[in-house]
Structures are given as C-alpha cells and as structure tokens.
Structure 1
Amino acid sequence: MSNRNNLLVYILAVGVFGIINTEMGVIGILPSIADHFHVSVSKAGLLVSVFALVVAISAPIMPLLFSGLNRKTVMLIGLGFFVLGNILSIMTTNFTLVLIARIIPAIFHPIYCSLAFTIAAESVSKEEAPKAVSKVFIGVSAGMVVGVPIVSFIDGAISLEMAMAFFAIVNAIIFVATLIFMPSMPVERGLSYGAQLSVLKKSITWLSIVAVILLNSAVFGVYSYLAEYLKTVTNVSSTIISILLFIYGVANIIGNILAGKLLTKNANKSVVVFPFALGAIYIVLFLFGQLTFPMAIITLIWGILAGIGANINQHWVMSSAPEAPIFSNSLFLTSANLGTMIGAAVGGIFIAELGTPYVVFVGFLSLLLSIVFIFLRNYMYNPKTKQLAS
C-alpha cells in the first residue's frame, strides 16, 4: 500500500478502536459507574447491553440511509456524536441521561465501522483487501480487550470522570485526524436502496449471515464466561485471571494480523478449517481446563483463533454481496452482534443448568451448526454445482 493509503487505514483502525472502546470500555468500570450514579451493577450493565442491542438493530438501517452521502462527511457526523455523547456522560450525574448519551452514538456505530471496513478494502487492490481490513480489525480487537484494562486503570489511578474522558479524547483525536488527513469521498455512483436491499434476495447472503451468527456464538458463548471459568474451574487468583485475559487480548490482535495473510492466500480454505480448529481447542479446554499451565496455552491459541474468526466473519458476509459493500458490512455487524448476544445467553443457561465446565458445549453446538451452513454455501456456489443450484 502507498504511504497515503497506509495512513488512511491506520486512521480507520484507531477510529474503530475509539468506537469499540466506547462500547466495551465501560465493562471495566461498571462498579464505579454504579457507585457514582447510585444504581445497581446490573442496572449499570444496561450501558453495555442496550448499546449492543441498538447496534444490532441500527446496523442494517443506518448505513443504508446514509449510503448516498459523502463518506468523509458521514464519518465525521458519527465521530461527532461519539464525542458529544462521551462529554455529556462526564458532565451529568443522571443515569438516564448517561444511557441516552450512549444510545444516540450507538445508532451511528454501524455507519462508521461499515465505512471503515469498506474504505480500507477499496484503498488497495482486490487481492490485498483482506490485509487492509485485518489492520482495521486490530482496532476492533484493541477496543474490545486492550481498552478495558486501560480505562479500568485510569479509573483506579485518577477518577471515573477521567476514565470516561478517555473515550471522548480518543474519538476527538480521530475526528480531527479524519477532518485533516482523510480526502473527500463523494459517492459517484450510489446504489439505490432497492439495489442494496436486493442482496437479501440471494440465498448465499442468508447462508453467510446464519454461518456468521453461529461462528460468533461459538466464540462469545464461551469467551463471555472466561473469567468465571478461570475462577471456578481452573481455580486461579484474580491476578492470574487478569494476566490470562490480557494474553487472550494480545493473541486476538496476533490473530487479526495472521488472518489478513490467510484470507489473501486462500480465503475459502481458511473459512472451512476454522470451525474444526476452534472445535479442537474446545475439546482440549474441556479436558484440561482445570490445569493452570495448559489453560495458559489454550488461552493463547484460542485468542489467536478468535482474532482470525472475526476477520473470517467479515469476509464471509462481505464476499456474499460485494456489489453493495457498505450494506453487506452492516449485515456483518448485525450478524456478529446477534451471535454474541445469542451465544452469551445460551452460555448462561448452560452454566445455570449444568455448571461452568459445560459452557464449552455452547461452542461445540454452534460450530457443528456453522459447519452445515459453510459447506452448504460452498456446495451451492461451487462452479461445478452452480448450475444445479440455480
């Protein structure tokens, strides 16, 4: 990539970090938020769950509505709402206002992320697109797993207000960088709403969406309870739990980097192999998860695979509808969020009914079902069987 395109991709990666960190960063400061606003921790958790729900609902709608506008303008609008929402969160002492201050930016979350993936892919050749997108995904992983301990540290070392200010500062920096360095990107030949929605008529789109929901459920149905698993099954201290969670986060970023190379080399093979590789890790986890050292190795490999999986999910949906890239990326965001919500919910049921060790079965079941839809898509859209499928 040229230096200019590299700069553009890095701005997008940090921008996505700011967006995702605003979404997930509050996880590390929920107890402080509960104390500050005089609400229960479960009610403070609405700042996470409601945000995710709004993203899932708005993902297929907002990018479609804004698809005809200048991309730079749209990204600045989204970043502006995130900056204003974060500032309002710092200034108010009313929990309802804080919730509103997060809901409004959450509506614009899918617009920015969809555009970030699309612009990164379009800034390079078709063959190099997975590598460019994988760099943006580093921002996603960093926002999810690195931002949380950073915000938690600021909260403990300085104050809750400064921790929340971190969200605003990152988004403000990217707003300025986007304003100065990102070129104007008017839509020269905008697709009509009907043309974009027409991708939903294709069976390959729905096969891809269901597969991604299941693949994300397989990852987050287990990962959502990793801390609980380490505490009750592996039986390690809170310090070791923090270290292992950090290892998972770093491994996730490594997985993003590897994914770009794997998808560029042989995307279809990478998608097919992924559920089997993750399934093998879950088997080892179920058998040896009570042992500390094996658990550390498992966590490292699991984190790498999860990073690869995030890129695979985006590629799988995007490649099913390349004629409407922004809308297909929004479908990916909806699918990923639905998979996360379903996996976490089912994982909670398994833990309540069977016990923490059996949360791994959520991953197994999701992976088995995902394999069906992956192979079904590959069969129906293989050149040798395309005529039969049609």
Structure 2
Amino acid sequence: MSKQNSLLIVILTIGVFGILTTEMGVIGILPSIAEHFDISVAKAGLLVSLFALTVAISAPIMPILFSGINRKKIMLLVLGIFVLGNIVSIFASNFTVLLIARVIPAIFHPIYCSMALTVAATSVSKEEAPKAVSKVIMGVTAGMILGVPITNYIAGETSIEMAMLFFAIVNAIAFIATLIFIPSLPVKERLSYGTQISVLKKPIVWLAITTVIFIGSATSSINSFIAEYLGTVTNISGGTLTLALFLLGLASLFGNLVGGRLLTKNAMKTATLFPIILGIILLLSFLTGKSTGPMLITIMLWGILFAIGNNINQYWITSSAPEAPDFANGLFLSCGNLGITIGTAVGGLFISGMGTQYIVLGGLLFLLMSLVSILLRNYMYSPTTKQLAS
C-alpha cells in the first residue's frame, strides 16, 4: 500500500470516527442530557434512536443519488454539515432544537460512510482491499464505542456543551485533512440505479437484511443505555463509569481485529456461533450486573463481541450482493441503524416497564431471532441444499 493510499485511509477512518462519534457519543451522556433539559432518559434516547432511524431511511437512497459526483466534494459537503450541526447543538436552547440539529446531518451520514468503505476498497489492490476496509470499519467501531467514554469524560469534567464541541472538532479535523491531503476523486465507473437496486430481488439479500437488523437490535437494546445500566444497576459513576466505558471501547477495537480474522478463516461458523456466545455474555451481565469487578470483566467481553458483530453485519450484507458494493454498504448502514432504532426503543420499553436491569432480556430475544435467520441462510444456500435442488 502506497503512502498516499495509507494517508487516504487514515483520513477516511478519522472522518468515519467523527461521524459515528457524533451519532453514538451521546449514549454516555444521556442521563446528563435528560437532567439538563428536564426530560426522561427514555425521551433523551430519541437523540440516538431518531438519528439512527433517519440514517436507516436515507442509507439505501442517498449514496445512490450522489454516486456520480466527485467523491472529494461529497466528503467535504457531509463533513461540513456535521460540523455545523454540532455547533448548533452546543447552543441548543431546548431539546427540540438539539434533536433537529442531529437529524439533519443524519440524512447525509450514509453518503460518507458508504463512500468511505467503497473508496478504501478501490484505492488498493483486490488482495489488499479487505485489510483497507477493516481499517475504516475500525473507525466505525471506535466511533460507536470509544467515542462514548471520551464524551462521558469530557461532559463529566466540563459540560455537555463541551462534549458537543468535541464532536465538532473531530469532524472539523477530518474536513481540513480531506481538503488539504485528499486529491480529486472523480467517479470513473457508475452503475445505473436499476442495476444496484435489482439486488433486492435476491432472497439471500433479504435474509441478510433481516439478520443485520436483529443483530443490531440485540446489541443496541443494551448499548444505547449502557451508561444508565452501569449507573443504576452496578451503581458506579464518575471516574469508574468513564473507566468502564473506556474498557468497553478498547475491547471493541480488539474485537474488530478478531472479527476480521475469524471471518477470513470461517465466515459461516463465525456468524452462527456469534448470537450464541453473545447470548451467554448477556446472561453473564444479568448475573454480575450488581458487582463492580465482575461487571467490568463482563463489559470487556461484551465489547469484543459487539465489534465482532459489526464485522459480521458488514460481511453478511456485502457478501449477499457483491455486484453492487455501494448499494450493499448503504444497506449495511441502513439495517444497522434500523437495528439501533428498534433496539433503543425496545430497551426504553424494558426500562419503563420492568427496570433497567431487564434490558438484557430484549437483547436475548433479538439474538434468538438472528440465530434463526442465520441458520436459514446457511441451510438455503449450503452446497448440499443446492445439490439436492438441482
């Protein structure tokens, strides 16, 4: 990989990190936001669920609409919108303004992230493409997980406004780096809208969509309220809470590397075992939730599994539609964020109806459904089944 390509991928990773940190970083400060605007934690969760729902709706559409425009210009447009949205969030006078300032950038979120995955893959040789894509996915994972403790720490030491400023700064750094260091990226080959959308005729694509939504719902039903869970159930706060979230983030980065290697060795086995193993970890968190030491260990295991699930989701979608990578990456983002929306909503229902500790039950339910859809794909598209059908 040349130095220019390496720099390109680093900048893409920073950009993805900034965008995903903006989306998921607020998870660590939902209780503080609820207190600041005098609303419930469940209502504050709209900052996560509505953002994710917006991404889920726009992800299959926006990347296709902008697929023919110079990619550098589109990157600058999206990053600029995120910078402005975060600046407005800093000065939001009420919760509605804050919500609007997040939803508008969310519309453009999938354009950058889908494009980053495609550009990373096409900037290197075919053999090096998986390695390049995994680095960008690490930015996604870092933004979704590591951004949470960073935001929690900043808000705890200063204010939620300073946490919003952190979001703006990261996106501004990516904007400046893109402007200065990334060359013009005109689109050389453009697939027609019809060619890309036609992959939806394949049953395997719909099985992949179902699986990714279920896995996303399982992880998000807990992850979206992890700060609330650790504060209410484990009864930790301040520096200990920040440490727990930081351990979760570090574990997820490690899990990202593990996930890539496992998928390379045996993708089907990795996907099949994932919901079973994560289910065991969730049960473990239910049992150890009130003990700080054991829960910190459980948190690290959960972080590793979360990141592996993110890798599985991306592979599961793109492997079902390799002929349309841009659209497939858009579907990956759409389904993942739809899972976040559903999972956050269900987690909020469990908190309101049964108590924070029982959000684990929602995660287990979604994992069971994901296992069924994975086994169905494995059966329908196994070599043995194809041979019998022929």
State the TM-score, normalizing by the size of structure 1.
Answer: 0.88
Residue in structure 2 matched with residue 123 of structure 1 by the alignment: 123
Q: Measured at CA, do residues 153 and 350 of structure 1 come closer, stay the same or move farther in structure 2, by a change above 3 Å?
A: closer
- Which stretch shifts more, 71-80 or 88-97? 88-97
Q: Is the 8 A contact 1:236 1:292 kept in 2?
A: yes
Letter of the 2:296 partner, please give it: A
Per-residue deviation at 1:259? 1.9
Per-residue deviation at 1:303? 0.7
Residue in structure 1 matched with residue 271 of structure 2 by the alignment: 271
Residue in structure 2 matched with residue 63 of structure 1 by the alignment: 63
Alignment deviations for residues 115-170 of structure 1 (CA, whole Å, 9 cap, x no partner): 11222233344454333222222222322333334344444555555443322222
Flag structure 1 segments of 5+ consecutive residues without an equivalent.
Answer: none
Per-residue deviation at 1:173? 1.7
- Count of equivalent residues: 389
Q: Measured at CA, do residues 151 and 192 of structure 1 come closer, stay the same or move farther in structure 2, by a change above 3 Å?
A: same
Q: What does residue range 107-256 of structure 1 map to in structure 2 within 5 Å?
A: 107-155=107-155, 157=157, 161-236=161-236, 239-256=239-256
Establish whether residue 100 from structure 1 lines up as the match of residue 86 from structure 2.
no
- Which stretch shifts more, 140-149 or 150-159? 150-159
Per-residue deviation at 1:15? 0.3
Residue in structure 2 matched with residue 54 of structure 1 by the alignment: 54
Per-residue deviation at 1:359? 2.8
Q: Measured at CA, do residues 235 and 93 of structure 1 come closer, stay the same or move farther in structure 2, by a change above 3 Å?
A: closer
Letter of the 1:131 partner, please give it: K
| Partner Cα distance (1:338, 1:290) in 2 | 30
Alignment deviations for residues 164-217 of structure 1 (CA, whole Å, 9 cap, x no partner): 332222212211211232233322221111111101111011000101111112
Q: Measured at CA, do residues 82 and 264 of structure 1 come closer, stay the same or move farther in structure 2, by a change above 3 Å?
A: same
Q: What does residue range 270-349 of structure 1 map to in structure 2 within 5 Å?
A: 270-349=270-349
Residue in structure 2 matched with residue 19 of structure 1 by the alignment: 19
Q: Is the 8 A contact 2:29 2:227 kept in 1?
A: no
Q: Measured at CA, do residues 40 and 144 of structure 1 come closer, stay the same or move farther in structure 2, by a change above 3 Å?
A: same
Residue in structure 1 matched with residue 382 of structure 2 by the alignment: 382
Q: Measured at CA, do residues 163 and 217 of structure 1 come closer, stay the same or move farther in structure 2, by a change above 3 Å?
A: closer
Q: Measured at CA, do residues 260 and 367 of structure 1 come closer, stay the same or move farther in structure 2, by a change above 3 Å?
A: same
Q: Measured at CA, do residues 26 and 279 of structure 1 come closer, stay the same or move farther in structure 2, by a change above 3 Å?
A: closer
| Partner Cα distance (1:183, 1:164) in 2 | 30
Per-residue deviation at 1:30? 5.4
| Partner Cα distance (2:108, 2:96) in 1 | 19
Alignment deviations for residues 65-111 of structure 1 (CA, whole Å, 9 cap, x no partner): 11122222221221122123233444664665544333221111010
Q: Is the 8 A contact 2:13 2:138 kept in 1?
A: yes
Establish whether residue 370 from structure 1 lines up as the match of residue 370 from structure 2.
yes
Residue in structure 2 matched with residue 4 of structure 1 by the alignment: 4
Per-residue deviation at 1:241? 3.3
Per-residue deviation at 1:239? 4.4
Letter of the 1:259 partner, please give it: G
SS state of the match for residue 385, structure 1?
helix
- Which stretch shifts more, 182-191 or 299-308? 182-191
Per-residue deviation at 1:354? 4.4
Q: Measured at CA, do residues 159 and 291 of structure 1 come closer, stay the same or move farther in structure 2, by a change above 3 Å?
A: closer
Q: Measured at CA, do residues 118 and 80 of structure 1 come closer, stay the same or move farther in structure 2, by a change above 3 Å?
A: same
| Partner Cα distance (1:54, 1:101) in 2 | 12
- Which stretch shifts more, 108-117 or 67-76? 67-76
Per-residue deviation at 1:379? 2.2
| Partner Cα distance (1:186, 1:161) in 2 | 38
| Partner Cα distance (2:40, 2:285) in 1 | 30
Q: Measured at CA, do residues 121 and 168 of structure 1 come closer, stay the same or move farther in structure 2, by a change above 3 Å?
A: same
Q: Is the 8 A contact 1:127 1:264 kept in 2?
A: no
Residue in structure 1 matched with residue 261 of structure 2 by the alignment: 261
Q: Measured at CA, do residues 81 and 388 of structure 1 come closer, stay the same or move farther in structure 2, by a change above 3 Å?
A: farther
| Partner Cα distance (1:35, 1:287) in 2 | 29
Runs of 4+ in structure 1 over 6 Å off: none
| Partner Cα distance (1:360, 1:45) in 2 | 17
| Partner Cα distance (2:235, 2:168) in 1 | 37
Letter of the 1:204 partner, please give it: I
Identity of aligned residues (%): 63
| Partner Cα distance (1:367, 1:205) in 2 | 19
Residue in structure 2 matched with residue 359 of structure 1 by the alignment: 359
Per-residue deviation at 1:6? 2.0
